[in-house]
């Protein structure tokens, strides 16, 4: 198994399955969380400053993700006892950007063998052959990978963007729309392209509730309240 080569997971693939030891007990991923959104993310190592800032931020946003019906699951190529010691240090000693006494309650996977990291393409030798890069996998309630974001070892993730992507995925699914650059709840959304010449002509003539910049690019209003009513 040490030299097993796995294909890189892709958007639209079923999330690779695994069983793992974590700081919250053993888990079967993703089946234990079927019916929920999942964010599986990797970090290079315990007791490192960038990772510490990230875990404190994720843990401080725990209620936001709970409200979005999303389970957070972390991973690094470190052992369980290292994980436990690091998370205790975060809670008992670290104060950063107004965050203190932060308790991490989501599972943190032990991956000493790098088996899970390799299944998810988290080990990228050009960056490091002994540490996982900062990968983020968004997995939907049916256990399908919907978005993948990779960051290098040296750069902490943008947690506003991670939450925005999760909300955007749910909104796209809930309303059957696409979302433009920098979309936030309350912004106009993009309606699917017209499927016929007649429909395109009707839209360009001023279909009620739709604004068209050209036949292929039309938007409509979707209020923040409408978006938020269907999140989770």
User: Active-site residue 218, yes or no?
Assistant: no
Neighbours of 85 (CB within 10 A): 14
Three-state SS at 170:
helix
Torsion of CA 169, 154, 10, 182, to 10 degrees: 30
Please report how many Cα atoms fall inside a 13 Å half-sphere around the Cα of residue 103, on the Cβ side: 3
> Distance between CA atoms of 77 and 113, rounded to whole angstroms?
7
Give φ, ψ of 93 to 5 degrees.
-125, -25
Catalytic residue among 51, 70, 212, 218: 51
> Distance between CA atoms of 107 and 110, rounded to whole angstroms?
10
Residues belonging to the active site: 51
């Amino acid at each position: 198994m040490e030299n097993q080569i796995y294909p890189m997971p892709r958007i639209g693939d079923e999330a690779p399955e695994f069983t793992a030891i974590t700081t919250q007990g053993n888990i079967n991923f993703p089946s234990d969380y079927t019916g929920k959104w999942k964010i599986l993310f990797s970090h290079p190592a315990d007791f490192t400053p960038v990772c510490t800032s990230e875990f404190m931020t994720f843990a401080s946003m725990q209620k936001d993700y709970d409200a979005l019906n999303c389970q957070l699951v972390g991973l690094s190529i470190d052992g369980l006892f290292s994980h436990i010691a690091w998370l205790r240090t975060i809670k008992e000693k670290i104060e950063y950007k107004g965050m203190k006494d932060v308790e991490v309650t989501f599972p943190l996977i032990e991956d000493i063998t790098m088996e899970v990291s390799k299944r998810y393409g988290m080990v990228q030798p050009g960056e490091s052959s002994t540490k996982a890069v900062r990968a983020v996998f968004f997995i939907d309630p049916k256990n399908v990978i919907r978005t993948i974001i990779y960051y290098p070892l040296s750069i902490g993730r943008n947690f506003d963007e991670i939450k925005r992507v999760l909300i955007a995925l749910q909104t796209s699914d809930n309303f059957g729309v696409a979302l433009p650059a920098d979309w936030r709840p309350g912004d106009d959304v993009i309606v699917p392209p017209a499927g016929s010449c007649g429909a395109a002509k009707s839209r360009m003539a001023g279909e009620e509730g739709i604004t068209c910049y050209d036949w292929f690019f039309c938007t409509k209003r979707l209020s923040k309240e409408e978006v938020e009513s269907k999140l989770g």
